[in-house]
Each structure stands twice: as structure tokens, then as C-alpha cells.
Amino acid sequence: TAEASAADIDAAFAAARAAQPAWDAMGGFRRAEVLRAMGAALEADSERLIAMCVREAGKTLADAIAEVREAVDFCRYYAHLAQTRFAGAEILKGPVGETNTLELHGRGVFVCISPWNFPLAIFTGQVAAALAAGNAVVAKPAEQTPLIAAEAVALFHAAGLPAGLLALVPGRGETVGAALTAHPECDGVAFTGGTDTARRINQTLAGREGPIVPFIAETGGLNGMFVDTTALREQVVDDVVLSAFGSAGQRCSALRILFLPEDTADLVIETIKGAMDALVIGDPADTATDVGPVIDAEARNALHAHLERLQREAKIL
């Protein structure tokens, strides 16, 4: 894929703006049909998508299988919401003898910016949510994983999504992402990624003239586990290893810090060390591999720099 140009971005917004009213007026039942067809298309093409997640994102086979299943679940979940929540007018009860009708409509054109650690699931989930509510979408995947996103967009269109409603605009965050969030035709932003990037997007949207632009952001986290003396050691270790090293630790939900009671800490730590020694690090396409590579050299260098800092202030196991 090539980075989207300014003209590409303008064309994507123009096509989305033109297509959105008819999609919104179509109603939730019809939108649900398209989203269910997308889920079925993902499921039917799962083997190829699994292979792409392994090749482009470095996911192990187990993680890639879970990724495709999650993408399918997102399509079916938002199809259900489209059919039940956005199917038509709702009757709101007021004072005695008074009722009001509420009709829910899409806002217009949503910008969806997704990360590389879930290049199919989060990309699909953001797009499906916006479409379910009656919006058109201009989607920018992470610069590391554009091919998986391109396949997802092709499947959306093949599943019956009208032309113009979904455009793929690949590129870097500092160029394409910044242009998308600052574009005057942007009616809302869904973003998953770094906290610093989310803060910059928020500032960009806050500085715009006119009504407030909705901003839905999911950013980094610090996942901690608290263990007490009644916990089964083997179960604790299984959960620690699964959470900390799934997707090579590249998840906002990955375990970062473990709190242990002094009475049992030493034994639990030794068991964790043994479990870590048993992990197989290698080619993610190999079924024997437990932990594949991190996403790129920049991520690897950041981990090495972090390790160097820790060596000066902590004990490395």
C-alpha cells in the first residue's frame, strides 16, 4: 500500500459524505444484514486472514486465530445493536398523557484510527460500530499493518457495503492521521493507541470551530494483579504467563505488575521463572512457538532501553 495523499483524503471524505445519508436512512435492520454478512465473510476467509496476521503482525497462530474470532464477534455484536438499538424510533414516556419520539441517526463521517497490536479485530470493531450507528467511515490502520486492513475493507465491500461508505487511507499517524482528525468533514473520531497521540487528537478537535466533535479513545494502561495467600500457585502462574506474554506482551491489557504476599512470594516467583524458561520464542508460524517477535525494530529498541534502565534500579530475573 502507498501512503494516502491529501487528494486521496479529500476524495474519501467527499465519497463518504455523499453515501452516508442513504445508509443512515436505510435503517438498522438493513445495516445489521450487511454486518452479519461481513462476519460470515471473515469466518469463511479465516485461514488466509490468520496467515496474514502471522506474517504482517508477527502473531502466533493461537493469537491470530483469536484475532479473527474477535473480529467476527464484533461484526455480529454490532449487527445486533444495529437491529435492536438503531432500528427506528423510540417512544419516550413523559408526564401523564404525554409521549415523545426519539429517532437515532448517525452523525456523518467518522474517522477510525486503529493500532497494530490488533490489526484485524480493533480495525473491524471500530468500523462496524460506526457503520451500525448509521455513519460512514474513513479508516486509517497502523502504518505497520496496512495489508490486513486492506483485506478487511475488501471483505466489507464484498459483503454488500455500499461504495463510498468505507475508505482505507493508509499512512503514518503524524501525516495522514493528523490530516484526518483536522479535516473539516470529520464528524467524530474513534482511536485506539498511545496516550500521547490521543492527547494531541483531543487538542486538535477542541481547537475546531463549531459543535464539539465526539472523540472515543482507548489508550495505554497499567494492568496489575493482586494475589493473596489463598490463591493456588499453579493457577496464579498460568494467569501471569498468559497475560504478560500473550501477543509478546504487546497489549494494553498485558500484565505489567504483580503484587504478592511476602509469605508466598519467593515460591511463586521461582515458579514463574520456571514457566518463563519453558516458553518457546521463535517464528510465529511455527505451532511450537509461544512468543513471537515484537512489531518492529523501534519497539525492540524501546524494550532494550527499558531493560537498561531497570538494571540500574531493580533486580532482573
Give catalytic residue positions: 218, 252
Amino acid at the residue 223: N
CB-CB contact of 190 with 129 (8 Å): yes
- Residue 198, CA distances (Å) to 99, 139, 284 in order: 40, 16, 30
Residue 3 CA to residue 312 CA, distance in Å, equals: 41
Nearest one of 149, 138, 178 to 19, comparing CA atoms: 138
Sequence-ordered list of residues with C-beta below 8 angstroms from that of 232, at least 6 positions apart, any chain:
none
Nearest one of 110, 123, 233 to 183, comparing CA atoms: 110
Beta-sheet strands, E only, within 114-168: 136-140, 166-168
Per the listing, cell 482511536 goes with: 191
Nearest one of 249, 181, 168 to 217, comparing CA atoms: 181
| Longest alpha-carbon distance in the chain | 72
CB-CB contact of 93 with 99 (8 Å): yes
CB-CB contact of 35 with 76 (8 Å): yes
